[in-house]
Chains A and B, each alone.
Chain A
């Protein structure tokens, strides 16, 4: 399925890391992708179980992200994008859930690139996704990717969310993450980025070991927060990557399960955050 479409994209992206001539413009190409994807129960079940979600008819927002993800990568791998896709870091993800998407329905995705934006650590681009079911909006998503150390003339100024002070709470849950989790999540998400299941590849991108998929941790945290709201905003900030294997802590830092709340996935030893999540009512 999605798994099939991702490998050539990574191959193309790898090629793009080679220094092949100057690119013509610092601007992003004005491209968008529209694609319809059916919500298929067997494929979804694999995803749901890996991220700790009870299987029911309403799909996890993380799965909608995953369905849009190969399309996002197609946009980013475009030769006219003046930033290298490989090595880009997913630093933030915001999903507005506007209504339920159910198994058996067909989701119409519309994806656009936005940016480039200035960032203290480089340049960011955004993938903006609109998902509809029979014309009914179900999700808007903004995924922010950072090209570290790259500065582009003409990048738009953009306010950055300030880094909040983080004090690690007592973990209410421990997640024991085997290296297998990188492979399992790759199998169900189609995101076969080698930094998640190959230590050597991870080293190539500056990580001492393979790292967990950020959206795996984020989706699992959302499963634990288990919002029972009709509509909500799901905001995720990715801090330090989780080097596998690891046992990390999870805890709510504000609010209660099923409601608007904040949670953290963090390093048990250093207390540093890996993934900070917030579920909020829309319009707040």
Chain B
């Protein structure tokens, strides 16, 4: 098999500042926010009226009316209405999967340009009626006579009318993501202090990046919000230490996961512009970086054999092996902070001879990640995590970071619901 052409480059990105749920964006829909993120990108790159090869995007919490969410966003944007789009989904890895997918299409020569996007609103969430009520309503639509309808309607009970909001619970286990992670946190013996330190670093790094103007050409203010609202620049170890644990309180071990070292529910949208080198040159855009490879993994968490969010621990060794790289070859590690302890569990696994030999199939431990290289511009603990928008945030951030610092290579890792993980290597262009 010949090596696919590496002609795709990352050109830039745009997102709206992320906001904690039920605040400023409480009434903004996924379509509103996604359109805004794309339009901001279009404005920054002067793409109004242009045809883009394809726009890819998705949302994790999605209304059924939004079956064509990304295409609808394109139609509402300044892009040419003849720009095709598709929706995709891989839970929290949706945004990164959109980047990988368009990157590969450009490398395959199928398209010359693409916008990878993602959005999520935890505020304007789809609410469904419970299954009993839904079954009765569907039966009503099938009934042909008034008598038949009356008989069916008579089965309705008051309890059936209670709506069901989406939760972060895993469908097969009924455990929330936090409760799943609490088990993993205990298994890897991740301390409260280590989690709070990671959270603090995330806030400090993100605050410094905002202060330095780093995000000026990566974000567009929206609904009066010009900075990620979850960011607490004045966080201290003391303030984090005061928070009570919210997950893992029923485990035998000490509960260590708090609202401070777990990501909050967040609203937001992001987008990333990709193009072939030729397309970029024709438009006068300077490539920031390229996505050279990606690897997904999944674990069997259903009966507790592995932790729900541990898939990246398996994907990264495979990704590095295929590319002949070690941790020493990376200048930056962008590991999505679903929870501080998720990042710490992955790093503990990579430092563990036992895990790397017995589970990841390596000869020895993968090694230690230099903390100075970890999430140098902050990550989800500080920025928040509108599920499908996180991949785009990370890719645009790390691509620009490589370009502006002259650093060479970044490892991107995102864990996702369903025991999945998606990882990628980004190199300076």
Contacts and interface: CB of A to CB of B under 8 A. Distances in A.
A binds B: yes
Contacts of A50: 131
B135 A46 contact: yes
Contacts of A178: 130, 159
B174 A174 contact: yes
A179 interface: yes
Given A180-B157, A180-B159, A172 B302 contact: yes
A252 B300 CA distance: 14
B173 interface: yes
A172 B131 contact: no
A170 B157 contact: no
A49 B303 contact: no
A256 B131 contact: no
Interface string B121-160: 0000000001110010000000000000000000101011
Interface string A160-175: 0000000000111111
B159 A251 contact: no
A257 B175 contact: no
A174 B132 contact: no
Contacts of B155: 187
B172 interface: yes
A281 interface: no
A173 B172 contact: yes
B157 A174 contact: no
Nearest to B186: A170
B303 A172 contact: yes
Contacts of B175: 171-174
A260 to B, nearest CB: 14
B46 interface: no
B159 A172 contact: no
Contacts of B131: 49-50, 184
A46 B174 CA distance: 21
Nearest to A226: B302
Interface in B171-194: 172-175, 183
A183 interface: yes
B304 interface: yes
A183 B173 contact: no
A176 interface: yes
B128 to A, nearest CB: 14
Nearest to B171: A52
Contacts of B305: 256
Contact of B303 (A175, A180, A251): A251
Contacts of A172: 173, 175, 302-304
Given A175-B174, A180-B132, A183-B132, A256 B160 contact: no
Contacts of B303: 172, 251-252, 256-257
B159 A170 contact: no
Interface string A139-182: 00000000000000000000000000000001111111011100
Contacts of B183: 170
Contacts of A180: 130, 132, 157, 159-160
Contact of A179 (B135, B159, B302, B304): B159
Closest 6 A/B residue pairs (Cβ): A174-B174, A173-B173, A172-B304, A252-B303, A172-B303, A173-B174
Given A173-B174, A179-B159, 18 more contacts: A46-B135, A170-B183, A170-B304, A173-B173, A174-B173, A178-B130, A178-B159, A180-B157, A180-B159, A180-B160, A183-B132, A183-B157, A187-B132, A187-B155, A251-B304, A252-B303, A256-B303, A257-B300
Interface of B: 130-132, 135, 155, 157, 159-160, 172-175, 183, 250-251, 300, 302-305
20 contacts: A50-B131, A170-B304, A172-B303, A172-B304, A173-B172, A174-B175, A175-B174, A176-B174, A178-B130, A178-B159, A180-B130, A180-B132, A183-B132, A187-B132, A224-B172, A251-B304, A252-B303, A256-B303, A257-B300, A257-B303
